[in-house]
Each structure stands twice: as structure tokens, then as C-alpha cells.
């Protein structure tokens, strides 16, 4: 009889060696949407908590985990560090605290590929639990770019044309260098760029600043994307004459 796999939830981008040591188990990215999970974090977290932190707690409370692995290094915010404390109190399993200060880039072929943006995001996130060798075609002239962290509502990515470049913390995530501030701040070309952060996330300060500096659009979304945010992105891409296949 085969041994039951342990279900291990992870938060953020823990060091590769920590993830690699657990890949034979059932690794679940707690930052991601898990269908059927009931929202229970509202009774624990302040209303000004970002949607991803809420989601992590909702998932951790619902998924019957054996262990939680959390990155609470420079690449994460105080809310994530605080969440580690909350999890230790509320989830009766070991919470393994790690700090990912890696600076050796694994590369960003997904971020720079010609794939549809939603697919890029799925691949970047899935790659943490199940790394795959991918045969990707680079996009030499990205029609647009999106800067920021992964969104709670992936519908935002459907507004962009194929080949849209991924920048910001999500790019750092693919590169496995979540604490690389220089890479996070880098906006390498003048393609029309949308600067995205979760509502209530401190990254909005940077997003707004970079949007002004690069003539981009700053948007923040709390959970499901609203009609005004959708319209702002559509209008921004329209007026910047961004062409390409939008799905």
C-alpha cells in the first residue's frame, strides 16, 4: 500500500531547496484560487487586508493541511509575516518560516514569451509546485506590459493582447528571486504598461509612482475586477493604439 502524500500549503515563493524537498508530496500554492473554499477569513482579518492574504488564510483553514511553508523574507510584506503568526494560532500544523533571498535568476522565458497573458500567469504560478521544461517562443516586440503581482481575478489578463510582457514582482517570481527589488522596479521599454496591485497592498505606492514615471496606467483591484477598472484598461490600450490578439 502506498504511503499517503502529505498535503503541504506554501505561501509566496519559498527558497527552491525548500520547495524541491517537498515536491514529492501534494504541494498546494495557498496564494491561488481553490474552487469550493468558503471565505472564513473575514472574521479574523481586518477589512483592509488584501485579497491574496485573505485567500491564503481561507485556503489554509479549509484544505486540511499537514504543513504550511511560508516565505516571510524581504520579498513579502508585513501582512504575510503577520499571517504566519495568525496561521500558527489558527491552523494546528507546523508553520515553516523561510526567507528567500536568492539573487541567482532562473530566467524569465514565460514572462517574455509570445503566449496569451493569462496562460503566462498560469504557467508562472504552476511552475512553483510542478516545474516543467517548456518550449517557448520569445516575443521580440511586446505590444504592452503588465507590472505587478498576480491578480486575484485572472479576468484582467484577458484584456491584454498575446505577448504582453510580465514585469514587477510576478517577473521576480518566475525568476525565483522574489526579493530582487531592482528587477521588480525595472520597466525595460516604452510599451504601454499597466501597473497593477491588489487594493490595500503597499505596492500601490510603487505602482502609482512607476505609472507616472512611464506614462502608464495604475489600477488596483480588490478581488473581482470592477467595470471601471476593466474600462480604464481597455481605454488605455485603445488610446495607446495597442494592437494584437485579445482573447
Partner 1 sequence: MALLGDFGTSWTKLLNTGSEEPRVLPTKDAHDITADIATGHNARRRAPRHVNELIALAQGGERLIGEEEFLLLDVGSRDVKYVRLRRGELVDMDWTTTCGALTGFTLELLGRYYGLDYDAVEPSKKSVSVTCGVLGMEQLFELVSQGVPESEAVARFARGIAMNAYRFIGQPKTFYLSGGMCENRLFQHSFPEKVEVRPLGRFVLLEGLMVELTRATRAGTAG
Closest to partner 1 by CB, 42 vs 234, is: 234
C-alpha cell at 229: 477598472
Q: Are 93 and 63 in contact (CB under 8 A)?
A: no
Taking the CA atoms of 65, 69, 75 and 78 in sequence, report the sign of the dihedral they define.
Answer: positive
Q: Which C-beta is closer to partner 1: that of 94 or that of 215?
A: 215
| Residue 47 DSSP SS3 | coil
**Sheet containing 95-98: which strands, arranged edge to edge?**
26-29, 7-11, 67-71, 95-98
Minimum distance from CB of 167 to partner 1 (Å)? 21
Residue 86 vs 237, nearer CB to partner 1: 237
Tell me how far, at minimum, the Cβ of 217 lies from partner 1, in Å.
8
Q: CA-CA distance, 40 to 59, in Å (whole number)?
A: 9
**Residue 183 C-beta: closest distance to partner 1, Å:** 29
Judged by beta carbon, residue 4 or residue 238, the one nearer partner 1 is 238
Q: Quote the least distance from Cβ 146 to partner 1, whole Å.
A: 18
Q: For residue 133, what is the DSSP state?
A: -
Contacts to partner 1 by CB under 8 A: 226-228, 230-232, 234-236, 238-240
Amino acid at each position: 500500500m502506498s504511503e499517503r502524500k502529505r498535503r503541504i500549503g506554501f505561501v509566496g515563493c519559498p527558497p527552491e531547496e525548500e520547495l524541491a524537498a517537498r515536491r514529492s508530496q501534494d504541494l498546494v500554492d495557498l496564494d491561488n484560487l481553490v474552487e469550493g473554499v468558503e471565505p472564513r477569513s473575514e472574521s479574523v482579518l481586518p477589512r483592509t487586508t488584501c485579497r491574496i492574504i485573505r485567500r491564503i488564510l481561507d485556503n489554509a483553514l479549509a484544505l486540511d493541511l499537514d504543513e504550511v511553508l511560508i516565505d516571510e523574507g524581504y520579498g513579502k510584506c508585513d501582512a504575510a509575516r503577520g499571517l504566519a503568526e495568525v496561521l500558527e494560532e489558527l491552523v494546528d500544523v507546523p508553520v515553516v518560516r523561510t526567507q528567500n533571498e536568492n539573487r541567482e535568476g532562473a530566467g524569465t522565458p514565460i514572462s517574455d514569451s509570445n503566449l496569451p497573458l493569462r496562460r503566462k500567469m498560469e504557467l508562472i504560478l504552476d511552475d512553483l509546485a510542478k516545474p516543467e521544461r517548456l518550449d517557448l517562443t520569445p516575443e521580440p516586440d511586446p505590444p504592452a506590459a503588465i507590472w505587478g503581482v498576480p491578480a486575484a481575478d485572472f479576468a484582467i489578463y484577458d484584456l491584454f493582447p498575446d505577448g504582453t510582457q510580465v514585469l514587477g514582482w510576478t517577473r521576480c517570481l518566475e525568476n525565483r528571486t522574489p526579493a530582487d527589488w531592482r528587477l521588480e522596479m525595472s520597466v525595460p521599454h516604452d510599451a504601454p504598461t499597466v501597473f497593477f496591485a491588489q487594493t490595500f497592498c503597499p505596492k500601490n505606492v510603487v505602482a502609482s509612482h512607476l505609472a507616472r514615471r512611464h506614462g502608464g496606467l495604475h489600477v488596483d483591484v480588490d478581488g473581482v475586477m470592477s467595470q471601471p477598472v476593466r474600462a480604464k484598461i481597455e481605454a488605455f490600450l485603445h488610446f495607446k493604439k495597442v494592437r494584437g490578439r485579445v482573447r
